[in-house]
Amino acid sequence: MNNFWLHPALILIVGGLILPLMKGALRKPFLLIVPTLTFITVLSLDNGVHGVVQFLDWQLIFGRVDSLSRIFGYIMSLMCIIGTLFALNVDEDAHHIAAWYYVAGSIGTIFCGDFIVLFLFWELMAFASVFLVWFRRGPQSLATGYRYLLIHTLGGLFLLAGFVLRFHNTGDLTFGPLNVHNPDIATYLILIGFIVNAAVPPFHSWLPDAYAEASVAGAVFMCAFTTKTAIYVLARGFAGMEILIPLGAVMALYGVIYGVIENDGRRIFAWDTVSQVGYMVVGVGIGSELAINGSCAHAFAHILYNGLLFMGTGSVLYMTGTCKLTELGGLYKKMPRTFLFTLIGGLSIAGFPLFSGFVSKSMIIAAGFEHHHLWAGFALLLASGGTFLLAGLKVPYYIWFGNNNCTTERWEKAADPPWNMQAAMAIASVLCAFIGCYTAYLYKMLPFPVDYHPYTAYHLSETLQIIGTSGLIFFLLRRYMEPTATISLDLDWFYRMAGRGFLWVDSKVFQFIDSAVGEIYRYVGLFPLMTISRFWSWFDWNAIDGVVDGTARSVRSLGGAVRKVQAGNMQYNIFFAATVAAAAVLVFVFV
């Protein structure tokens, strides 16, 4: 156990503090140096427990390095380099700082060893990433960001309640495998906190809303880190919890169904993210070595090809001002390199042979059949066909080919994006193909020894049949799949309406309470106060009148006394003095 340890997340946090000081020619090199140093630091980590800090009665563990945390730390820090390169032309320092702190939260969660450190970095992810939505500065950005933050704060509260209750019951804050076979309420609360970030229905609607509304570069970061960090903590704490199998299978199909009816390109890939994360959730639920390897491998591959897809559609948005399929078409002539990169991402997510998705998601499907979860295995196969329909056919066809629905201004502006954005897409494309062709690169990083060979005749035949059937369905039913500018209602409609209903009831209750309190105040408080006030007003004026009248009478008597004094009558001198003294006393008391 080594207490002196350089945390990779600390490099990003300190780098974010220094970035505003970097001006001119130093700025862009610095933007690339910081995530590169983070990646190198992750590569140099030794297995074991590091960065142990004693805080009050708790032992905080900032660095637990093993095969599971290492693979996630590797791909997170690598994606930080690619994402920063893609965002190199963003002039706003705050945007880069938010992205780096977001990644720092993810890496800190991955290497944590206890629930307190996990919660700190978990919340850092939520509060840093929301700025990537707000920095879009679109008409819906502020509201979308608040909804995003509200959902993740709710998930954080479930997580906090869960581990506090667990600490109360066990006295242990260590983050590790939980009792998934006989779970208590604390375990379920922690699970809910995790699956909110994994976008498991019905807690999923934040994902397509936020990813589609984020800034061009912000969406590239967001699609890579939150859900995959959730997969890591699920794999660490909930491997083998079977309730995750149906939840993941529903996710895989649910995302495809909604993706088919979407019109916005980034929103389609956001729904594809829900679908692909469903595969990983199924793998965690199965819990075998092959399934956990499959979830980790698919998370690794998904970060690359999903980032590539969001970079491709983000480039279209950046150059044309829109990503809606009904407003695009024929762009392969204007953006040929972007089309090529996006196509590679689409083939990878669809699991096409020689690309990364083929060698990762098949492990999870094989584990499902191996452990007799047949319906889950068939559901994932069906989702694979839907994914190719979306990412391999629908988006490429309606953005890059199909009818040209671009306005003249949009068509003239369309071109391949700046060099840094193309370079980031090229790196991700090469890695997607490299992983698909050289499986040892990925497989040797997995948590357990790998005895799986994706390139078998059966698997190749199965995949080609699924792809061929999906392609046939698309071209036969293409006119029924034409994108339309519609709004798709989702499960979030119910809790949005419930929220509005709560606000309505709350307002009515508040009005009733306000009215009731007003009436009570009027009869119990205000009426007596007004009565007392009127009495004192009456008393005050009558007292003054009495003083005035008494003073007048005294003056008249005083005048008579003066006249008698002048006559030399001594007894009236005494009466005069007493009258003056009495008048003075009356004026002092009543006035």
pLDDT digits (tens, 9 = 90+) for 7-52: 999 999 999 999 999 998 999 999 999 999 999 999 999 999 999 9
Token reading at 205: 């609607």
Measured in whole angstroms, the distance separating CA 332 from the mean position of its chain's CA atoms is: 33
Query: Taking the CA atoms of the chain, what radius of gyration do you get in angstroms?
Result: 36
233-244 pLDDT tens trace:
999 999 999 999
CA distance 541 to 546: 9
CA distance 26 to 29: 6
Confidence tier at 579 by pLDDT (50, 70, 90):
low
Give just the sign of the alpha carbon dihedral 318, 320, 321, 327: negative
Listed by start position, the domains of the chain span 1-238, 240-483, 497-590
Q: Residue 388 above 50 pLDDT?
A: yes
Token reading at 23: 């001006």
Q: Name the percent of the chain in helix, strand, coil, to the closest 5.
A: 75, 5, 20
Q: What percent of the chain has pLDDT over 70?
A: 83
Which three-class secondary structure string do you get for 59-108? EEEEEEECHHHHHHHHHHHHHHHHHHHHCCCCCCHHHHHHHHHHHHHHHH
In sequence order, which ranges of 89-204 are alpha helices (DSSP H)?
A: 93-111, 115-134, 141-170, 185-197
User: Tell me, what's the pLDDT at 501?
Assistant: 72
User: Tell me, what's the pLDDT at 575?
Assistant: 47
Using CA atoms, how far residue 571 sits from 551, 557, 560, 584, in Å, is 22, 14, 13, 21
Q: What percent of the chain has pLDDT over 90?
A: 70
CA distance 495 to 6: 43
Q: Which residue has the higher pLDDT, 339 or 545?
A: 339
Q: What is the DSSP string of 283-347?
A: HHHH-SHHHHHHHHHHHHHHHHHHHHHHHHHHHHHHHHS--BGGG---GGGT-HHHHHHHHHHHH
Confidence tier at 485 by pLDDT (50, 70, 90):
confident
Q: Which residue has the higher pLDDT, 539 or 167?
A: 167
CA distance 166 to 187: 8
Quick count: other Cβ atoms within 10 Å of Cβ 316?
27
Give SS3 for 351.
Answer: coil
Kindly report the backbone phi and psi dihedral angles of residue 197, in degrees, each rounded to the nearest multiple of 5, phi listed first: -70, -25
Token reading at 487: 């709004």
Length of the chain: 591
User: Tell me, what's the pLDDT at 591?
Assistant: 47
Q: Residue 583 above 60 pLDDT?
A: no
CA distance 59 to 489: 47
398-425 pLDDT tens trace:
999 888 888 888 888 899 999 999 999 9
Give just the sign of the alpha carbon dihedral 195, 200, 206, 211: positive
Quick count: other Cβ atoms within 10 Å of Cβ 66?
14
CA distance 173 to 179: 14
For residues 302 and 276, is the Cβ–Cβ distance under 8 A?
Answer: yes
For residues 406 and 293, is the Cβ–Cβ distance under 8 A?
Answer: no
CA distance 208 to 273: 9
Confidence tier at 476 by pLDDT (50, 70, 90):
confident
* C-alpha atoms less than 13 angstroms from C-alpha of 245 in its C-beta half-sphere: 21
Mean per-residue pLDDT, 201-209: 91
Using CA atoms, how far residue 219 sits from 126, 352, 398, 465, in Å, is 14, 25, 21, 33
User: Tell me, what's the pLDDT at 565?
Assistant: 45
420-470 pLDDT tens trace:
999 999 999 999 999 999 999 999 999 999 889 999 999 999 999 999 999
Q: Residue 396 above 60 pLDDT?
A: yes
Contacts with 580 (C-beta within 8 Å, 6 or more apart), sequence order: 558
CA distance 507 to 514: 10
Using CA atoms, how far residue 347 sits from 110, 357, 404, 421, in Å, is 29, 8, 23, 20
